[in-house]
């Protein structure tokens, strides 16, 4: 379950942001997770609950916004979204692709009080 590792790293980021902004409590965290990260939302929520227990983020709501996979064909420059894990250009059928989005893991927003 790689979600536990991700939740641990996310918690480290939250602690740093809380310290920099003098936050005493975190109520909600929104992350952008690219579909290529293969995060299972329920597993991520459980991991987040476990790593934040007893901390300023205990009980915080974790909101996960899934970012679709978007590619650009190196051969014809067509940009397209990947569905059903088919990594072939729909225009020219090339497999020479450049990833544009879908692998990110970004803290989008934190709500808390100081």
At 9, which CATH number? 3.30.2320.50
Query: The domain containing residue 42 runs over which residues?
Result: 2-69+101-113
Confirm whether 25 is domain-assigned. yes
- Its pTM stands at 0.83
Q: In 10 A of CB 91, how many CB atoms?
A: 13
Confirm whether 20 is domain-assigned. yes
Per-residue pLDDT tens digits for 84-109: 889 999 999 999 999 999 999 999 99
Q: In 10 A of CB 74, how many CB atoms?
A: 13
Confirm whether 42 is domain-assigned. yes
Question: Tokens for 72?
Answer: 């650009």
Mean pLDDT score of the chain: 94
Per-residue pLDDT tens digits for 39-68: 999 999 999 999 999 999 999 999 999 999
Confirm whether 77 is domain-assigned. no
Q: What residues does 31 pair with on adjacent strands?
A: 64, 107
pLDDT of residue 39: 93
CB 13 within 8 Å of CB 107: yes
pLDDT band at 114; cut points 50, 70, 90:
confident
Number of domains in the chain: 1
């Amino acid at each position: 379950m790689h979600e536990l590792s991700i939740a641990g790293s996310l918690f480290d980021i939250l602690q740093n942001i809380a310290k920099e902004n003098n936050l005493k409590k975190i109520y909600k965290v929104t992350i952008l997770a690219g579909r290529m990260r293969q995060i299972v939302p329920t597993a991520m929520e459980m991991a987040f609950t476990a790593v934040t227990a007893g901390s300023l983020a205990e009980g915080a709501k974790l909101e996960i916004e899934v970012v679709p996979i978007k590619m650009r064909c190196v051969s014809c420059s067509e940009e397209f979204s990947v569905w059903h894990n088919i990594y072939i250009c729909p225009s020219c059928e090339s497999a020479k692709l450049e990833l544009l989005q879908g692998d990110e893991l970004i803290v989008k927003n934190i709500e808390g009080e100081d």
